[in-house]
Amino acid sequence: MALYSRISGTGSALPARRLTNADLVTLLAERGLETSDEWIVERTGIRARHFVDADTNASDLAFKACEAALQAAGCPLSDIDLIVVGTSTPDMVFPSTATILQNKLTQAALARGEAGGAGGAAFDVQAVCSGFVYALTLADALIKTGTAHKALVVGAEVFSRILDFNDRTTCVLFGDGAGAVVLEACEHDGSGPGILATDIHADGKHTGILCVPGTVSGGQVLGDPTLKMDGQAVFKLAVGVLEDAARAVLDKAGKTAADVDWLVPHQANIRIMQGTARKLKLPMDKVVVTVDQHGNTSAASIPLALDEAVRSGKVLPGQIVMLEGVGGGFTWGAVLLKM
């Protein structure tokens, strides 16, 4: 018998405000910039994205996603002893969005007459669009060492807050949202559900091709606090490293691409997803695609896509699922698991 961590529930949340490409055409035209539905769809596959209102933060979206995941898992908040949030758009410089989330979940549970969830460890992971893959890898390791037993692993982002709406090459690509899973310890002989392999990496020499270079110092924002990207450099790097990470988790788990029932990739761009699927010889009908409706929600995109695939009945218990992400840093990684 061996110790595994398995996903026992998923949840997600999207802000109510939905902008189609046509809405962005109007918004950019007011700034004297030209774009079109055709350009955005052809280059990225994106048709719509959701943006938060001024009162909503990453922790609010994370809260809704976690409540849904806990309900799906049939898990009371008081059982959770670890919260890991992947985010690059935290509510505050500090404390972490994870601790703010823990308190929101606790207050809601107490208001329902249930026990709260304070006391377990809670922290953020900053790996940009690889944030959820990093967070899941950490939570899996903490569960396998017996440090934690039931975790909430979350990706939550409000990228609309860091977009430059005078830069048409980036502002059409991103959206806001959150996704969460309950990850819990289980013991079996290897035939049951659980994370089979993880693989995470970074190469800091690529910092400049995808970054928000500004910072806060002495009460001032120093530098530019909006997203900058060299799209073509990111594209080329992404397809290569995603293939490497995918092959690494398959090798570690003693599986081949033919064993994969579903690929749930980071939803950055349909052409990157198609490129990865082609390299792995996976047909696109085994790839979960939500980028058309969500845009790139950074660390939230994988758990959002996974939750939609579970709730729509695509991803089923017992199936082999590969998650893979790539993002600023440069960071990248993959997780292979059995549902």
Ligand X SMILES: CC(C)(COP(=O)(O)OP(=O)(O)OC[C@H]1O[C@@H](n2cnc3c(N)ncnc32)[C@H](O)[C@@H]1OP(=O)(O)O)[C@@H](O)C(=O)NCCC(=O)NCCS
Q: CA-based angle 268:198:288, to the nearest 5?
A: 35
The minimum distance between CB 305 and ligand X, in angstroms, equals: 14
- State the binding string over 117-136 for ligand X (x if CB under 6 A, else -): ------------x-------
Side-by-side strand order, sheet with 331-338: 194-202, 331-338, 320-327, 262-265
Stretch of 66-74, 92-100, 224-232, 274-282 lying at the interface with ligand X (CB under 6 A): 224-232
State yes or no: is 296 an active-site residue: yes
State yes or no: is 206 an active-site residue: no
Q: Which two tokens stand for residue 54?
A: 């001024």
- State the binding string over 270-299 for ligand X (x if CB under 6 A, else -): --x-----------------------x---
Residue pair 161/155 in contact by the 8 Å Cβ criterion: no
Applying CB under 6 A, among 326, 334, 336, 339 the residue interacting with ligand X is 326
Interatomic CA distance for residues 231 and 138, integer angstroms:
29
Instruction: Tell me: does residue 265 bind ligand X (CB under 6 A).
Output: no
> What are residue 333's DSSP bridge partners?
200, 325
Instruction: Tell me: does residue 177 bind ligand X (CB under 6 A).
Output: no
Considering beta carbons, is residue 193 or 328 the nearer one to ligand X? Answer: 328
The minimum distance between CB 165 and ligand X, in angstroms, equals: 11
The minimum distance between CB 89 and ligand X, in angstroms, equals: 14
Applying CB under 6 A, among 269, 290, 293, 331 the residue interacting with ligand X is 269
> What are residue 20's DSSP bridge partners?
48
Considering beta carbons, is residue 165 or 235 the nearer one to ligand X? Answer: 235
CB < 8 Å & 24+ apart, contacts of 202-206: 202/127, 202/329, 202/330, 202/331, 202/332, 203/329, 203/330, 204/329, 204/330, 206/233, 206/237, 206/329, 206/330
Instruction: Tell me: does residue 35 bind ligand X (CB under 6 A).
Output: yes
Considering beta carbons, is residue 266 or 338 the nearer one to ligand X? Answer: 266
State yes or no: is 171 an active-site residue: no
Stretch of 115-123, 194-202, 230-238, 239-247 lying at the interface with ligand X (CB under 6 A): 230-238
From the list 21, 50, 66, 129, the catalytic residue is 129
Q: Which two tokens stand for residue 81?
A: 């002893």
Instruction: Tell me: does residue 165 bind ligand X (CB under 6 A).
Output: no
Applying CB under 6 A, among 43, 47, 149, 161 the residue interacting with ligand X is 43
Applying CB under 6 A, among 17, 161, 168, 255 the residue interacting with ligand X is 168
Stretch of 36-44, 48-56, 82-90, 217-225 lying at the interface with ligand X (CB under 6 A): 36-44
Applying CB under 6 A, among 231, 252, 255, 319 the residue interacting with ligand X is 231
The minimum distance between CB 293 and ligand X, in angstroms, equals: 16
User: Which spans of this chain sit near ligand X (rule: CB under 6 A)?
Assistant: 35, 39, 43-44, 129, 168-169, 172, 229, 231-232, 234-235, 238, 268-269, 272, 296, 326-327
